[in-house]
Amino acid sequence: MNIRRFWGAALLALPLAAFAEDAKDLFAAAAAGKIERVESLLAQGLDANGKIEQDRTALMAASFNGNIRIVKTLLAYGADVNLADKLGATALTDAVMFGNPDLVGVLIAAGANVNAADAQGVKVLDKAKKLGRDNIVKILEAAGAKVQEAKAEEVVPAPTEAKSEEPKK
């Protein structure tokens, strides 16, 4: 058997998953909820923190879609729970958007920054309140989340009562 045939046969025997080249495969698998594919890619050594366009990660995709099992798998392989995309959104931001309190709890337990703000300065607690996710608001507050502080230019002074000057007699 010559060397060319040997390597040809060996390459054909490898599963297609072995040819994953970048984070796009992992992101797509996480977004689609394909746990076996995610596990396969991670087992091959794919970076759990690999980023695609807009600096999105597989952890963000799984969080946005509410897939706790994939989130836990990615975290076990070293996914950074506090990475932010170009808009400043983190996996916790995505979990709040999805609205799953259990998922929010998993991310907080993994060290998610409950006071992180996006590129516009909006914190996850503010997003949860705006979306009416009262159960998530309670979880975030219990974990130490604080509301967004008003910026100096947004502070409107309280109206003062006009002093009435009585004519002096």
Q: How many CB atoms lie within 10 A of CB 97?
A: 17
**Which two three-digit tokens encode residue 41?**
């890619």
The pLDDT value recorded for residue 30 is: 97
pLDDT score for 147:
80
- Give pLDDT, residue 22: 64
Q: Provide the pLDDT for residue 13.
A: 45
Q: What is the pLDDT of residue 156?
A: 47
How many C-beta atoms surround the C-beta of residue 20 within 10 A?
18
Q: Where are the domains of the chain?
A: 14-147
Give CA–CA dist 46/127, Å, rounded: 32
Answer whether 132's CB lies under 8 Å from 158's CB. no
CB of 91 within 8 A of CB of 120?
Answer: no
Residues in the chain where the model's pLDDT stays below 70: 1-22, 148-169
Instruction: Please provide the average confidence, as pLDDT, over all residues in the chain.
Output: 83
pTM of the shown model: 0.75
Superfamily of domain 14-147 in CATH is Ankyrin repeat-containing domain (1.25.40.20)
What pLDDT sits at residue 149?
A: 64
Beta-bridge partners for 117: 123
Q: What pLDDT is attached to residue 23?
A: 83
